Amino acid sequence: MIPAAFEYHAPKNLEEAFRLLDRHGDEAKLLAGGHSLLPMMKLRLAAPRFVIDLGRLKGLDYIREEQGHMVIGAMVKHAEIEHSSLLRAKCPLLPEAAAAIGDVQVRNRGTIGGSLAHADPAADYPAAILGLDAVMELQSNSGSRTVSAEDFFVDMLTTQLRPGEILTQIRVPVIGKGSGTAYCKLPQLASGYAVVGVAARVTLANGKLAQVTIGVTGVGPKAYRAENVENALRGKKASDKSVAEAARHAAHGIDALADLHASADYRREMAGVFTRRALALAIARAAGKKA
């Protein structure tokens, strides 16, 4: 469990990090919490020549409210999100998803930015980020741009990030009165990753679903929005029956993954089950029922 030799850099600020990225290009890897990169390096599945550690860099570890949104620095650790009283009050879906990640040790080191940039198809955050219709800020030497969560995930382990770019911030909406969110997950029993993870956000108006967004992880090669379900429910009455009927289509058109732990059929079926469970919970919470 010893990685191949590499050169280690710990930039003190973003500018320095951009310079290092530009200089070393493909041969460099960014290190955030290290819970995906380091195991791969130790097994020598990854052998970057340069490791640029963002852990010493100041100013990417904030959680704050800005104009009706919550903004979160990319280096905020899972445990900080899990226990943030601000997020629990303003956007409880993120703490709920964070609490479902790995174990205490992983949550104490892993970062939201690292997890999202790695884009593991079975990670928990991508579902939450999609369900919240988040906006990601990507920065490089030549400036910054924003990308929607939906556009951010391109394919398995692939994102919109271009060479030289760093994911710096995640912006999510404040969940107000009348809205509710939930994250429901079927974990893989060995790794704890999601076989299926579904994040749902709903807004109720007069008993109808004024707004529905659903993010699904674990099922396909990348996390996705269950638009079939969203469209079927938007504007409809929030009844058990309508939710159950719509949720069945949560994996419609998705090329589901198959592995040792779950077949494609099972994943598709479970996408439906957990979409229904997440929606039911989110609706109950939106209606003010404690659950």
Nearer to another protein, 153 or 193 (CB): 193
| Interface region with another protein, contact rule CB under 8 A, candidates 65-73, 172-180, 223-231, 261-269 | 261-269
Residue 2 binds another protein, judged by CB under 8 A: yes
256, 255, 259, 237: which is closest to 246 by C-alpha? 237
x-or-dash string of contact with another protein, 166-195, rule CB under 8 A: --------------------x-xxxx----
For residue 9, the one-letter residue type is: H
Residue 71 binds another protein, judged by CB under 8 A: no
CB of 191 to another protein, least distance (A): 4
C-beta separation of 121 from 257 below 8 A:
yes
Q: What is the C-alpha to C-alpha distance for residues 92 and 17, in angstroms, rounded to an integer?
A: 32
Q: How many binding residues for another protein (CB under 8 A)?
A: 20
Residue 270 binds another protein, judged by CB under 8 A: yes
Instruction: Quickly count: other Cβ atoms within 10 Å of residue 14's Cβ.
Output: 18
**DSSP string for residues in 63-131:** EEEETTEEEEETT-BHHHHHH-HHHHHH-THHHHHHHTSS-HHHHHH-BHHHHHHHT-TT-SHHHHHHH
Residue 250 binds another protein, judged by CB under 8 A: no
| Interface region with another protein, contact rule CB under 8 A, candidates 11-19, 88-96, 227-235, 266-274 | 266-274
Helix (H) or strand (E) run with residue 158 in it? strand 158-159
Nearer to another protein, 11 or 197 (CB): 197
Q: Which residue ranges make up the site for another protein (CB under 8 A)?
A: 1-2, 4-5, 43-44, 186, 188-191, 259-263, 266, 269-270, 273
